[in-house]
Amino acid sequence: MTEAKEVQKPLYARIAWVATRWFWYGSIALLVGYVVAGVMAAFSPSESKHIMVGFMAKPILLALISYQLRGLVRSAYGGRPFTFDNVRRLRLIGLCTLIYGPLNVLAKWIQLYSSHKGDFLDLSIRLGVDSADTIFLGLLILVLAQVFDMGVRLQTDNDLTV
Amino acid sequence: MPILINLDLMLVRRKMSLTELAGRVGVTIANLSVLKTGKARAVRFSTLEAICRELDCQPGDILEYAPEESQSGD
C-alpha cells in the first residue's frame, strides 16, 4: 500500500502554478482575438490583409510558450522536474523566445513597408537592436535546457543507484 | 555492461525471497529488483555491505566481471 505524502508547497510555487494557468488562458484569449481579427481582415476590402499574417505569429508563439510553461510548472509542482519532457519543453520555449523578437520586428516592418514608410536599412537595424533582448533570453533558456538535460541524466543515475 | 549480478543465485542458495532480503537490507523491492535484473548503474557500499551481511557472502559472490567479446584484444 502506498502512502500519499501531502507536502505543503512553498508560496512561490503556488503563485507560479496560478500565474502560468492564467498566462495560458490569456494567451488563448489573445489567439482567439487575433484569429477573429484575421478573419475579419480577410473579408474586408482593405489592403492590410497580409499584415495580419505577420501579426498572427506573435499570439501563436505566446500560446505555445505558455502551454509549455504550464507543463513545466505542473511537473515541477508534482515534485519531479528532471524529465526529458521538460528538456524538450525548455528547448521549445527557448526557440520560441529566440524567434519572437525578430518576428515581432518583421511584422512591424511589414506594416511600415506596406504603408511605404520602411526601408531595408531600418529593418536590419531594428532586427539587431529591438530583438536583442529576446534573442539573449532565448539563448539563456536554451543553455538552461542543456543544464536540465544534464540534470535528467544525473537524476536517472540516482534513480538507478541501489 | 560487463558486470553481472548473481543475486538471484545467492538467494536460491540461501533459500531467501527477494521480499525478505529487501526487508532485512532496508531497501525497496523495486530497487532490489533493479539490482537483480542488472539494470542498476551503481551500488552503494552500504547496500552491498547489508546484502553481504544478510546473505552471509562476499561481494565477489554477488558481482562478477565478464568481459564483452568486442573488448577482448586477441
Q: Is A4 within a domain?
A: no
Q: Which of A120, A72, A131 lies closest to A98, judged by CA?
A: A131
pLDDT at A118: 60
Output the CA–CA distances (angstroms, integers) from residue A43 to A6, A39, A114, A143, B71, in the order listed: 55, 6, 18, 44, 70
DSSP B4: E
CA distance A159 to chain B (A): 9
Of B41, B49, B52, which to mutate for an interface test with A (greatest number of A Cβ within 10 Å)?
A: B41
Q: Is A50 within a domain?
A: yes
Tally of domains within chain A: 1
Query: Is B43 an interface residue toward A (CB < 8 Å)?
Result: yes
pLDDT at A49: 57
Q: Is A6 within a domain?
A: no
Q: How far from the centroid of its chain's Cα atoms is residue A48's Cα? A: 27
The answer, as to whether pTM is greater than 0.90, is no
d(CA A21, CA A11): 16
Structural domains of chain B in order of their starting residue, each with its CATH number: 3-67 (1.10.260.40)
pLDDT at A88: 95
Confidence of residue A1 (pLDDT cuts 50, 70, 90): very low
Per residue in A135-155, pLDDT (tens digit) is: 999 999 999 999 999 999 998
Q: Is A15 within a domain?
A: yes
A162 and B39 in contact by Cβ < 8 A? Answer: no
Rounded mean pLDDT of chain A? 80
Q: Which residue has the higher pLDDT, B30 or A121?
A: B30
Q: Please identify which residue in the block is written with the cell numbers 523495486.
A: B30
pLDDT at B74: 46
Q: Is A2 within a domain?
A: no
How close are the terminal C-alpha atoms of chain B, in Å? 20
Per residue in B2-45, pLDDT (tens digit) is: 889 999 999 999 999 999 999 999 999 999 999 998 888 899 99
Output the CA–CA distances (angstroms, integers) from residue B46 to A30, B27, B42, B43, in the order listed: 57, 11, 12, 8
Percent of chain A scoring above 70 in pLDDT: 78
Core vs surface per residue B45-67: b (16+ CB within 10 A) or e: eebbebbbebbeeeeebbeeeee
Q: Is A1 within a domain?
A: no
Confidence of residue A104 (pLDDT cuts 50, 70, 90): confident
Pick from A44-53, A85-94, B44-53: least confident: A44-53
Amino acid at A102: P
pLDDT at B73: 47
On the 0-12 / 13-18 / 19+ scale of CB atoms within 10 A, A44 is exposed
Q: Which of A152, A13, A153, A20 lies closest to A86, judged by CA?
A: A152
CA-atom Rg of chain A in angstroms: 20
CA distance B74 to chain A (A): 33
Q: A149: which 3 cell numbers?
A: 538535460
Q: Please identify which residue in the block is written with the cell numbers 541524466.
A: A153
A162 and B40 in contact by Cβ < 8 A? Answer: yes
Residue A116 has pLDDT above 70, yes or no: no
Domain span at residue A132 reads: 11-159
**β strands within chain A, DSSP E:** none
Residue A3 has pLDDT above 50, yes or no: no
Which residues of B are less than 8 Å from A161 in CB distance?
Answer: 40-44
pLDDT at A158: 87
The ipTM estimated for the assembled molecules is 0.70
Residues of A contacting chain B (CB within 8 angstroms):
156-157, 160-162
